[in-house]
């Protein structure tokens, strides 16, 4: 599984960084970056929380 941040939507609310700091980092540009490429299935519940927590729906998960 991978997480993707739509940089055009992200407004730096940082909820993703709070919920999953091992996966997301806020850049100097105030846009979240994914710092881990491949994410274990065990992280899915946490990442689904992240998807819901982002106020502008900038995060999506892909199955690969």
Residues lying near ligand F3S in the complex (CB under 6 A) are found at: 5, 10-16, 26, 32, 54, 56, 58-59
| Residue closer to ligand F3S (CB basis): 32 or 39 | 32
Dihedral angle sign, alpha carbons of residues 21, 23, 26, 32: negative
| Residue closer to ligand F3S (CB basis): 21 or 44 | 21
Nearest approach in angstroms of CB 51 to ligand F3S is 9
Question: Contact, 19 vs 45, CB < 8 A?
Answer: no
19 to 6, 43: CA distances (angstroms) = 18, 11
| Residue closer to ligand F3S (CB basis): 4 or 44 | 4
């Amino acid at each position: 599984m991978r997480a993707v941040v739509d940089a055009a939507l992200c407004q730096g609310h940082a909820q993703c960084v709070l919920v999953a700091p091992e996966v997301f980092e806020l850049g100097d540009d105030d846009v979240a970056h994914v710092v881990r490429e491949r994410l274990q299935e065990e992280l899915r519940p946490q990442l689904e929380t992240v998807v819901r927590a982002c106020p502008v729906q900038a995060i999506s998960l892909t199955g690969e």
